[in-house]
Amino acid sequence: MNGYEPSTWRLLRSNPADGPTNMAVDEAILRAVAAGAAQPTLRFYAWEPPALSLGRAQRASDADGQALHAAGYGLVRRPTGGKAILHIDELTYSVVAPRSDPRVTGPVAESYRRLSAGLVRGLELLGLANAEADQRAKDHGSVGPVCFEVPSDYEITASGRKLVGSAQMRSDGTVLQHGAVPLYGDITRICAVLSARPDLARVRARATTVQDALGRPVSWDEAVDAMITGFSQMLNLRLELGELTGSELGEAEKLRSQKYGSDDWTFRV
């Protein structure tokens, strides 16, 4: 089914956390893996309260601060690229591994392709037969501030509508890829908290949720279980349930305070 030698990775099922904490934990894991202090890690998490995340180079003015406050949503800037995502009613995953690992080695698009196999298989196990990750090299035309409007290369669609949005960064010989899998709810809710007020019909036509694509509700735990099996099968992984180390927790706390919870970072662009 795959050409990988078996490998053991750490599996984390994190408690829901706010946006700065979630981004700080992902970067803390990256630093630990880069230092050889932690195994490659597959992590699943959720957001409480919900939050709008901006891509690393995205303008902060794309977000409507008053609308976010009124809705009770947070705002955070990711360390990875891409456009805005409203993290609500979703499963979020992150993968951290050395660039030497064959599952993530090579160009960004190629590592997307390899990792997407685990995501697609997880969706298949949930019953979604039409999920696919195709290379999309053609011009997509104008791109707005919403991540889920247009799939990038090897991002996952269902019946032509974007279902999984992912982004990646590379640092110190290590890859961090994280992404959002909307499970249910109105995919257009993001439009009300963006300054440009993107067209609801356009976003609805181009993006979907697992529930809409599958025709039934899927809980966070059910989705996680399917993704664990999908990654295990397609990437030949033995996933061992673990926890963050004390060092990672300390690093995450520092990153949350000094970086992801700071206006200097959030409003840097």
Q: Is 191 a catalytic residue?
A: no
Q: What gap in Å lies between CA 99 and CA 136, rounded to an integer?
A: 24
**Edge to edge, what strands does the sheet with 156-158 contain?**
131-133, 156-158, 161-171, 174-182, 90-98, 41-45, 7-13, 237-241
- Catalytically annotated residue among 24, 147, 210, 228: 147
Residue carrying the six token digits 């599958």: 214
With contact defined as beta carbons under 8 Å apart, do 146 and 191 qualify? yes
Q: Is 118 helix (H, G, I), strand (E, B) or coil?
A: helix
Q: Is 89 helix (H, G, I), strand (E, B) or coil?
A: coil
Write down the number of H helices and E strands in the chain. Answer: 8, 11
Catalytic residues: 147
